[in-house]
Amino acid sequence: MKKTRKLINCDLGECLVLNPDGQIMPWIDQASIACGGHAGNDDSMAKTIKLAKQYQVSIGAHPSYPDKKHFGRRSIAMSLNQLFDSLVMQVTTLNKHCRDQKVTMDYLKPHGALYHDIMHQAPIAEVICDVIKATKQELKLVVQAGVNTEQIMASAAKKNVQLQFEAFADRAYQGVQLRLRTEEGAVLATPEEIENQYYQLSASNDFQIDTICFHSDHPPSVKALQHLQVTTTC
């Protein structure tokens, strides 16, 4: 019996020392490209967009709090106007590179602390929606599946923004909540565990899941992706 398969996305263009982007791109459906907040620069954006175009992968902006020191994984105290300006600059920069290569962005996925903050703080969620509106493109907003969905759905509906719900193949869950990264076992350790969770999430009816993330900076996730590619093309 054929296994249920959901869209696969990866966060790319993050200037990792052992850069897996070229290896991963043929295996995924969506590439969330860092645009200078937590990682990324003009060169990495242009190269990652070129790869996505080559393999016909959907392109998304992956902005964050302006915090390269902590890789965008800490909330930053800043006004909503300052946050809006920073995010617009990030997304506009990526969009310029997309136009240069005659491709379009399809979605926006916040990174790190910003990703989690929009699920719990309506004003920040509305800033993200305003950023999408500022692009004058019909970008979907990728958000965490199963967590405070009523609040984020209300913020998105207020701004007429369409949502796409995301789960994680390589993160441990406690119910529908992600285990905190500071806790032991927060990241699944083996390719087998990650692949199994991907199929479990793909088949789950517990909550809406549209796309599943594999983290490109986690080698077991890359190996799981490789094995998925082999098993789904055989």
| 198 assigned to some structural domain | yes
How many C-beta atoms surround the C-beta of residue 204 within 10 A?
16
| 189 assigned to some structural domain | yes
pLDDT of residue 1: 44
Question: Dihedral of CA 59/43/223/143: which sign?
Answer: negative
| 214 assigned to some structural domain | yes
pLDDT of residue 106: 98
| 83 assigned to some structural domain | yes
pTM (two decimals): 0.94
| 1 assigned to some structural domain | no
* CATH classification of the domain holding 145: 3.20.20.370
DSSP secondary structure, 130-188, as one string: HHHHHTTS--EEEEETTSSHHHHHHHHHHHT--EEEEEESSB-EETTEEPPTTSTT-B-
Q: What share of residues in the chain are helix, strand, coil (percent, to 5)? A: 40, 20, 40
pLDDT, averaged per 10 consecutive residues of the chain (234 residues), comes to 80 85 94 97 97 98 96 95 98 98 98 95 97 95 92 95 97 90 93 96 91 94 89 54
C-alpha count within 13 angstroms, C-beta hemisphere, residue 30: 25
Q: In terms of residue numbers, what domain contains 21? A: 7-233
pLDDT of residue 87: 98
| 2 assigned to some structural domain | no
Q: How far apart are CA 222 and CA 228, in angstroms?
A: 10
| 211 assigned to some structural domain | yes
The number of domains in the chain is 1
pLDDT of residue 231: 66
